[in-house]
Amino acid sequence: MSGFQVDKVNDLLEWCAANDIFIDSRIRIASDDRGNICVHSTDHLIPPKATLVKIAKDAVLSVRNCSLARLIPFNPYGRGAQLSLSIALYVEILRGTQSRWHGYLQSLPGGIVDLPLFWSTDVDKTKDSAEALAWLGGTEAARILSTRSENRTTLEEINHFYRNVAEPLFLHHVHAWQCGVASSTPTIMGFYRAFSLVSSRAFLVDAYHGLSMVPIADAFNHALENHVHLESDYSVCSECGSLQECLHDRDQQSGDDDKMPKNLSQDDDHDSFYEMVTNAGTPPLSEVFNTYGEDLTNAQLLNQYGFILDVNDNDRLSWTMHEILDLFLPNDTTETDRGDITGHFHETLSRLDETRPIFAHSRLIYYEVSDGHHFYLNCEGSLSHQLWAILFVLSARRHQGVIADRDAHQTPNAVLELQMQMETPDSDDEDGMGVGKPLGKTPDFLPLRILHDLCEMTMALCTERKHNIGKSGSSQLELSSVVEEIPEDNVRTHLAISFLMSERSMLDCCEAEWRELTEFMFPLLNGLG
């Protein structure tokens, strides 16, 4: 570490000692090559269930205890909580050395955290930002970035909040942040920085503090296979933060001292501290990781924290019902017909739920716990059972006249059973599908025809998505060659293309698997045709 980085870490540790934050000697706080704080184990093996950090509850920074406490609107979660905490954090940043959190705040990244949300606002890296955003076009990351709430994007929502809530609050309470002649002045860029820090570092700790900046807890970097996690009791009094019974309890009739619970004054660690506790053994002399969310995709990591993982088993691509129907139905399809398709889809989904165990044996389909409004393709290129169901319905719709003469309720099961027979691995090829292995008997024409159409639709879905993600006109480009031509200092563009390559890989994998299945069906269809 450089001298500056050493000073930054030392100032943080001194502040922690003065604010009842206790750090176990088996870990050390360090600074990486980029100057960011991180946590490493010392030369001891750390067992599971070890408390490595105890953080006094009043050491966290929240809307409840900042210099503008009681003036900032409290929101328990969501975007509102992020915006409110951004005010609390920013007012303390503006206070500089006069803030009671200065020793902690000086350890945070100095500029706006490099989130795609703010790339378009960076005038110093205009070209890199524009290129990166273009390469992200149509991806899951871009979908998150363009999501609108009350007809505003996230950036528009931040700007609106700053102009109408944060800035007026700062101007009406100058004394809260203007601590000397050299005091900084509130700006939108400064608020962007505060929001980016909240987005990438804040924790939801309990019902009183809500979303908060938690010193040292935010120093642990993210990994899916994490070593530690933050432990806190969320169910505290939302008025005073007590974990014990208190005067604010609903059944408390008066505030007389003699009616206070006897255990209110007990020195209880759970009532006084948040803790970082190991959930797995931690090897010596290695970085110690937390997880920011066990099921976060790279799209979410990029937008919330500014990085992606090389391999992320949570990654998936999504479609809405509207997108799928628009792709496969004629333009003149009536709303009545769309409603019938949706109804048939839900009926099919109910029947598939009865055969849930079968999906564990499929390479092409998996069972997805979902709200039913989105359809997914996972990191291995497999379809969620909801996506399979809607493609089945659209395929079967082409054969309505034939299905009307049969038991329509049995058709999904017959198609799924046929697919599973074709997927069953050959004993000589445990890693592959059973494509090419003779079936036990000649399949019925209708399930085979529907399955073939379903395969074609799946491949069309992949082709259409590949055509619509990335920079316009780039669908046929070899991305590995494109990356080699981009200057190394265009970090955002490199990151965006890496993300795009991952999405393309999922689509390529899916398309290849279903094409193999389609090719196997050709002679069977010809024989029955």
**59-109 pLDDT, tens digit each:** 999 999 999 999 999 998 999 999 999 999 999 999 999 999 999 999 999
Q: Which pLDDT belongs to residue 402?
A: 54
d(CA 57, CA 271): 8
Maximum CA extent, the chain: 90
Instruction: Name which of 260-274, 341-355, 402-416, 507-521 the model is least confident about.
Output: 260-274
Other C-beta atoms closer than 10 Å to the C-beta of 486 total 15
Question: Is the pLDDT score of 512 beyond 90?
Answer: yes
In order, the DSSP letters of 457-502 are: HHHHHHHHHHHHSSSTT-TTS-HHHHHHTS-TT-HHHHHHHHHHHH
Question: Is the pLDDT score of 362 beyond 70?
Answer: yes
Q: Which pLDDT belongs to residue 134?
A: 98
Compute the average pLDDT of residues 210-230. 94
Compute the average pLDDT of residues 329-336. 95
Q: Which pLDDT belongs to residue 261?
A: 40
Spatial neighbors of 346 by CB under 8 A, at least 6 apart, are 372
Q: Which pLDDT belongs to residue 97?
A: 94
d(CA 239, CA 232): 17
Q: Where do the H-state alpha helices sit in 202-329?
A: 269-272, 298-305, 321-328
511: Cα within 13 Å, side-chain hemisphere: 14
Contact 339, 331 (CB under 8 A): no
Instruction: Name which of 134-143, 238-247, 284-293, 403-412 the model is least confident about.
Output: 403-412
Q: Closest by alpha carbon to 198, among 268, 97, 295, 105?
A: 105
- 3-244+270-305, CATH topology level: set domain protein methyltransferase, domain 1 (3.90.1410)
Question: Is the pLDDT score of 270 beyond 80?
Answer: no
Q: Closest by alpha carbon to 74, among 66, 58, 59, 85?
A: 85
Mean pLDDT of all residues in the chain? Answer: 89
Give the highest mean pLDDT range of 9-13, 350-354, 423-427: 9-13
d(CA 72, CA 129): 33
Torsion of CA 253, 254, 257, 258, to 10 degrees: -50
Q: For the segment 137-153, what is each residue's pLDDT rounded down to a tens digit?
A: 999 999 999 999 889 99
Question: Is the pLDDT score of 502 beyond 60?
Answer: yes
Q: Closest by alpha carbon to 365, among 347, 391, 388, 348?
A: 388
Q: Closest by alpha carbon to 225, among 274, 275, 283, 140?
A: 283
Helix or strand holding residue 180 (H, E)? none
d(CA 190, CA 167): 11
Compute the average pLDDT of residues 326-346. 95
Q: Which pLDDT belongs to residue 529?
A: 58
Q: Which pLDDT belongs to residue 446?
A: 87
Q: Tell me the pLDDT band of 356, cut-offs 50, 70 and 90.
A: confident
103 vs 266 pLDDT, higher one: 103
410: Cα within 13 Å, side-chain hemisphere: 8
Q: Where do the H-state alpha helices sit in 173-311?
A: 188-201, 269-272, 298-305
- This model's pTM is above 0.85: yes
Q: Which pLDDT belongs to residue 259?
A: 43
Compute the average pLDDT of residues 294-307. 95
Parallel, antiparallel or unpaired: strands 51-56 and 37-41: unpaired
Compute the average pLDDT of residues 436-453. 78
Cα angle vertex 188, ends 183, 192, to 5°? 100
Compute the average pLDDT of residues 385-408. 79
Looking at the chain, the domain(s) classified CATH 3.90.1410.10 span 3-244+270-305
d(CA 363, CA 56): 49
Question: Is the pLDDT score of 262 beyond 50?
Answer: no
Q: Tell me the pLDDT band of 241, cut-offs 50, 70 and 90.
A: confident
Q: Tell me the pLDDT band of 253, cut-offs 50, 70 and 90.
A: very low
Q: Which pLDDT belongs to residue 225?
A: 87
DSSP structural state of residue 454: H
Give the highest mean pLDDT range of 21-30, 238-247, 430-439: 21-30
C-alpha pair distances (Å), 197 with each of 113, 141, 478: 6, 19, 35
d(CA 291, CA 314): 13
Question: Is the pLDDT score of 371 beyond 90?
Answer: no
Burial class (CB in 10 A: 0-12, 13-18, 19+), 471: buried
Give per-residue burial for 27-40: e unless 16+ CB within 10 Å, then b: bebbbeeeeebbbe
Q: Which pLDDT belongs to residue 367?
A: 94
Contact 138, 163 (CB under 8 A): no
Burial class (CB in 10 A: 0-12, 13-18, 19+), 263: exposed
Q: Which pLDDT belongs to residue 50?
A: 97
Spatial neighbors of 172 by CB under 8 A, at least 6 apart, are none
Cα angle vertex 187, ends 183, 188, to 5°? 155
Q: Which pLDDT belongs to residue 243?
A: 82
Q: What are phi and psi of 270, to 5 degrees?
A: -65, -25
Both tokens of 465, joined, read 């998505």
Look at phi and psi of residue 285 and say left if phi exceeds 0, alpha if psi is from -120 to 50, else beta.
left
Place of tokens 């929101």: 75
Compute the average pLDDT of residues 122-130. 94
514 three-state secondary structure? helix
388 vs 529 pLDDT, higher one: 388
Compute the average pLDDT of residues 409-414. 80
Q: Which pLDDT belongs to residue 443?
A: 74
Q: Residue type for 204, please?
A: L
Q: For the segment 32-47, what is each residue's pLDDT rounded down to a tens digit?
A: 888 889 999 999 999 9
Question: Is the pLDDT score of 404 beyond 90?
Answer: no
d(CA 289, CA 485): 34
Torsion of CA 292, 296, 302, 304, to 10 degrees: -50
Spatial neighbors of 21 by CB under 8 A, at least 6 apart, are 53, 54, 55, 56, 59, 215, 216
Q: Which pLDDT belongs to residue 207?
A: 92
d(CA 341, CA 347): 10
Place of tokens 């792709």: 327
